[in-house]
Amino acid sequence: MTSGSKRSPRLLHCHSTFSAGGKEVRCARLMNAWSARLHHTIISAEPESLTAAALIDADVPVTFPHDFPSLKGAPTPGRLARLARAMKGFDLICTYNWGAMDVVMAHRIFGPILRLPPLIHHEDGFNEDEAARLKPARNLYRRAALGTAARVIVPSTGLERIAREAWHQPPAKVERIANGIDTAAFAAPPRRDALPFAKAEGQRWVGTLAGLRAVKQLPTLVEACAALSPDWHLVICGEGPERGAILAAAERHGMTDRLHLPGAVDPASVVGLFDIFALSSASEQFPLSVVEAMAAGLPVAAPDVGDMAMILSEPNRAFITPSQDTPALAAALAQLAGDAALRVRLGAANQARARDAFDMAAMLARYTAVYSGAMRRDF
């Protein structure tokens, strides 16, 4: 690799959304780790969804332009050409999930003509429209668009298999990089004032961190918690369009007084306030929130989605339930809620597992190597 120009490399990030979900949080943390060594430009297919911007440190050079071509629309030649021209002047293009796939296609068609910089595509999972089955037409489009991508980065073994088999990506192009976190930060005591409400004496919390989207099936989590004793409350941290559906579920199941929706939060300062971490998603691959909960020393109840069985410590795997089985999730939560000593044992095992397998340092080194290799310059 050559040292290249002394100018900091300029990265363009094209996201399906930049709300504070797993991939966005990871992106912000990587930016913070690289500090001023890279300059970032962030585009969201949902321009109003930028809450993850608050997680980026003040010393990180980052811009959010308003004049970039929309990531949404029919993939006509004219629109793809506009997207391609907007990629000029950068050193690396980073695209994320299906919502940015037209950027990938524009790079495929016009990259050689315009001498565009290399592109790395990141795939972290699917929304509710592909939770049960991938759409064949989208598979074909992805397969065609990814032809000139330098790398395809995925966090899970399931996505690695999909990238190779459904999208026909060569094994050497697919990089599986497990999500990592600053495990020491999550092991630190939580901030008691991190939420706009206090945890009352004798109160216990089932908590989750999630974008409020249909694929997360958060109304079913409300239902699963409804039978717990009155001292158990449910705290759902995140933002999104399903807020009304979650509130309606709370009213149906008598949970109105025991449900809290504080919006977007700093996970490291909050997750340690929970007593149990719960997941209810129909589709996940490598949920960062589960690793965060593990690092904070929490037991986890979650459906059997993505790499869940590989992520959790061996003792906690007994609390992985069949996907979309609300009674089974409710039973797992009830068992954990009724046994404080069990919660402590599982939390300790999870914390050790997170520290040993999913620390930020290993993830950062892998991303730095892949990005540097694509740009053929160190940073």
Domain regions of the chain by residue span:
10-180+359-375, 183-357
pLDDT of residue 3: 43
Cβ-Cβ contacts under 8 Å for 127 (sequence gap 6 or more)? 98, 213, 214, 215, 283
pLDDT in tens, 43-53: 999 999 999 99
pTM for the model stands at 0.77
Confidence grade of residue 275 (pLDDT, cut at 50, 70, 90): very high
pLDDT in tens, 211-253: 899 999 999 999 999 999 999 999 999 999 999 999 999 999 9
Distance (Å, whole) CA 307 – CA 325: 18
pLDDT of residue 131: 66
Nearest to 35 by CA among 9, 61, 10, 13: 61
Across the chain, what does the average pLDDT equal?
94
CB-count exposure of residue 366 (10 Å: 0-12, 13-18, 19+): middle
Nearest to 299 by CA among 329, 278, 269, 271: 278
Distance (Å, whole) CA 170 – CA 174: 7
CATH topology of 10-180+359-375 equal to that of 183-357? Answer: yes
CA gyration radius for the chain?
A: 21
Domain 10-180+359-375: CATH class, spelled out = alpha beta
pLDDT of residue 150: 98
Which tokens in the block code for residue 311? 């992520």
pLDDT in tens, 315-328: 999 999 999 999 99
pLDDT of residue 135: 93
Tell me the backbone φ, ψ of residue 95, rounded to 5 degrees: -115, 150
Q: Within 10 A of 294 (CB to CB), how many other CB atoms are there?
A: 31
| 181 DSSP 8-state letter | B
pLDDT of residue 4: 46
Confidence grade of residue 125 (pLDDT, cut at 50, 70, 90): confident
Tell me the backbone φ, ψ of residue 265, rounded to 5 degrees: -135, 170
Q: What is the mean pLDDT of residues 295-312?
A: 95
Nearest to 76 by CA among 96, 108, 102, 43: 102
300 contacts 277 by C-beta, under 8 angstroms: yes
pLDDT of residue 192: 87
pLDDT at 20 over 90: no
Alpha helices in the chain (DSSP H): 22-34, 77-86, 101-114, 136-145, 157-165, 183-187, 218-225, 243-252, 267-270, 288-295, 308-311, 326-337, 340-357, 360-375
Domain spanning 183-357, CATH architecture: 3-Layer(aba) Sandwich (3.40)
Cα–Cα distance list, 350 to 195, 303, 319, 358 (Å):
24, 17, 12, 11
Distance (Å, whole) CA 321 – CA 194: 31
pLDDT in tens, 310-362: 999 999 999 999 999 999 999 999 999 999 999 999 999 999 999 999 999 99
Which tokens in the block code for residue 240? 């999104």
225 contacts 199 by C-beta, under 8 angstroms: no
